[in-house]
Amino acid sequence: MSGYVFVLTPIEPEVETPFQVIPKHFLQRAADDQIAKIKALLQRFNTNPMFVPLYELDIVELPSDKPGNRRWEHTRLPPEKWRYWIIHFEGNNSEIQGLEYALSLMEQDIELGFFVMSMEGLTGDGYGWHFHYVPAYFNDDDRQPRTAKRITGVDLQLAGECCSELKSLPKQYAHIRRAFQRFATLRAVPKSSELTVIGLFSVIESLLTHAPKANDPTDSLIRQISHKIPLVRKRFRRALDHNSVFGGLNEDSLWKKLYEYRSKVVHGEDAKLSGNLQALKDQKTVADFLREIVKLLLIQSLDEPLLVTDLKEC
């Protein structure tokens, strides 16, 4: 038994391929017969007439004749440079979900699509996919990169380590596994939706906070987060510089504003980022920042599950 899963995200790996991400799972270019099957499946899943596939195209931004406008040039790639990448695996597909979780933690995160499997003695291939996630990718313009993502060996090594740590995570850390599941389900929500922001907050809170004590104002969610994030941030695998995103806003003020925005969304108020919230720029900036926080917290939860769990309870 063997198979492969299609890498939905257009990528340019900066490693020699085939590259073993986890044991018996290799990132490699799709062969011609695999590309034919992939193309047929892409036509089946893609219902967005405006989708511009980067698997066979390069898109380059060019100067525009009007200030503020952007112009794009599409160049067709030669077949040997097409971006139909797969992860080939031997055996069954039991490792794919964990690998999918791990690939989502990279700075340049990767989404996997459908998988194809073949078995001795059976005629034809077997197929599988996430019913909600794959079509959602094609219909969410904000999820599709303008240029192919460049993936380094360091990225893939991190994914391999996280996949191994997740697989061996002791049962008493079930809340960490649930956080991964919740993060994954956000693939079904449009990236520009305010629900994405709420979902990201819920993952952060599930990892770092406990239910506030009703009679203790110092135990609120915002106070817990604003105190715990700076502590755990110092241990993150990647630097997280909020100043480069939100200017000179200090960390305590930033989280107060983020929670004010969260509160407006949760309670159905007009959540425009104006007035006191103008420093947050826009919803995309907030979502991208929170997504990176979630990734780094999940990585840290695998590296030091006891520490993060103790921090949650204190």
Q: What is the arithmetic mean of pLDDT over 167-180?
A: 97
Is the domain of 82 the same as that of 179? Answer: no
For 64-92, how does the pLDDT look when each residue is reduced to its tens digit (9 = 90+)? 777 767 777 888 999 999 999 999 999 98
Residue 32 lies in a domain: yes
pLDDT at 121: 66
Tokens describing residue 275: 């007035």
Tokens describing residue 133: 């996630």
Q: Is 21 exposed, middle or buried (0-12, 13-18, 19+ CB in 10 A)?
A: buried
State the chain's mean pLDDT as an integer: 91
Q: Give yes or no for residue 56 having a pLDDT over 70.
A: yes
pLDDT at 157: 97
Is the domain of 40 the same as that of 85? Answer: yes
Of these ranges, 89-93, 133-137, 177-181, 213-217, the one predicted with the greatest mean pLDDT is 177-181
| Separation of CA 270 from chain center | 27
Residue 24 lies in a domain: yes
Is the domain of 52 the same as that of 133? Answer: yes
Q: Are 3 and 120 in contact (CB under 8 A)?
A: no
Q: What percentage of the chain has pLDDT greater than the value 90?
A: 66
Q: What is the tally of structural domains in the chain?
A: 2
Residue 24 phi, psi (nearest 5): 65, 20
pLDDT at 61: 76
* End residue of a domain, out of 123, 155, 187: 155
Q: Give yes or no for residue 119 having a pLDDT over 80.
A: no
* End residue of a domain, out of 130, 155, 180: 155
pTM, entire model: 0.93
Transcribe the chain into DSSP letters: -EEEEEE-S-EEE-S-SSEEEETTEEEEEPPHHHHHHHHHHHHHH---TT---SSSEEEEEE--SSTT--EEEEEEPPGGG---EEEEEES-STTHHHHHHHHTTSSS---EEEEEEE-TT-SS-EEE--TTHHHHHHT-GGGS-SSPEEE-HHHHHHHHHHHHHHHT--GGGHHHHHHHHHHHHGGGS-TTSHHHHHHHHHHHHHHH--PPPTT-GGGSHHHHHHHHHHHHHTT-SS---HHHHHTT--HHHHHHHHHHHHHHHHTT------GGGGGG--HHHHHHHHHHHHHHHHHHHHH-HHHHHHHHH-
* End residue of a domain, out of 155, 180, 215: 155
Is the domain of 128 the same as that of 229? Answer: no
Residue 110's pLDDT band (boundaries 50, 70, 90)?
very high
For 278-309, how does the pLDDT look when each residue is reduced to its tens digit (9 = 90+)? 999 999 999 999 999 999 999 999 999 999 99
Q: Domain containing 298: what range?
A: 169-313
Of these ranges, 105-119, 149-163, 216-230, the one predicted with the greatest mean pLDDT is 149-163
Residue 145's pLDDT band (boundaries 50, 70, 90)?
confident
The gap between the terminal CA atoms of the chain, to the nearest Å, is 48
pLDDT at 84: 97
Is the domain of 20 the same as that of 86? Answer: yes
Is the domain of 179 the same as that of 141? Answer: no
Is the domain of 211 the same as that of 306? Answer: yes
- Residue 16, number of CB atoms within 10 A of its CB: 7
For residue 48, CA distances in Å to 19, 38, 229, 270 come to 32, 17, 39, 30
pLDDT at 216: 77
Q: What is the arithmetic mean of pLDDT over 165-170?
A: 97
